[in-house]
Chain A
Amino acid sequence: GQNIDQPTEMTATEGAIVQINCTYQTSGFNGLFWYQQHAGEAPTFLSYNVLDGLEEKGRFSSFLSRSKGYSYLLLKELQMKDSASYLCAVKNSNYQLIWGAGTKLIIKP
């Protein structure tokens, strides 16, 4: 089968840094996406990785290791508005997007 594993929930403090991990087992790999989803809203695109390494975009960075089937999303200088669920999704060899269950991030003052 194909699956994406992410922690169910994480808690962090405003102003701090948090790393959300994602491991995947899929039939082939054609890219990994991170999305942010606030409660009751649709997901919004954050980042895309297809090659190994780190992609930085402002306060958010995403890392990929294809050999390990592993990615993480790094959020710096956390703000209260970053409280949301973060979804990891992998595109497999058939270009199907396989979604993780999401990590609920709670930011405390």
Chain B
Amino acid sequence: GAVVSQHPSWVICKSGTSVKIECRSLDFQATTMFWYRQFPKQSLMLMATSNEGSKATYEQGVEKDKFLINHASLTLSTLTVTSAHPEDSSFYICSARDGDRESQPQHFGDGTRLSIL
């Protein structure tokens, strides 16, 4: 149980393109989902917390107009990188928690490797 699906797994596109990444909880409902970014050999960096039916909570330094998050249902959150540039190239990972208890671990999608040319 507690499977999180992320799509696409790999994107290569030109500078200026907008890219949408989907994150789905397949066998549970997720009120809250999390979006992370990870650069090579570095730790996970939380970008934003996505709340179903309300606005996302962005971490300091993350541009909300650049990284648009929509959590339209209890099983789907999307991250759109608008007008992507080479510096946005990174590994983007979503996660969700099955249940409201804080002891529940986050379950991660397989990640999306984004390369902007």
Whether the Cβ atoms of B43 and A50 lie closer than 8 Å is: no
For the residues of A in contact with B, the DSSP-based class is loop
The answer to whether B111 and A91 touch across the interface, beta carbons within 8 angstroms, is no
Residue of B nearest to A91 (CB): B102
User: Chain A residues with Cβ under 8 A from B102's Cβ?
Assistant: 30-31, 91, 95
Q: Is there contact, CB below 8 Å, between B111 and A48?
A: no
Is the C-beta of B107 less than 8 angstroms from some C-beta in chain A? yes
Number of B residues near A (Cβ < 8 Å) is 19
Assess whether B108 is in contact with A44, with CB atoms less than 8 Å apart. Answer: yes
Nearest CB in chain B: distance from A29 CB, A:
11
B89 contacts partner chain A, Cβ-Cβ < 8 Å? no
Structural contact, B44 and A31, CB atoms closer than 8 A: no
Complex alpha-carbon distance, A109 and B50, angstroms: 43
B30 within 8 A of A: no
Q: Chain A: residues with CB nearer than 8 A to chain B? A: 30-31, 33, 40-45, 48, 50, 87, 91, 95-97, 99-102
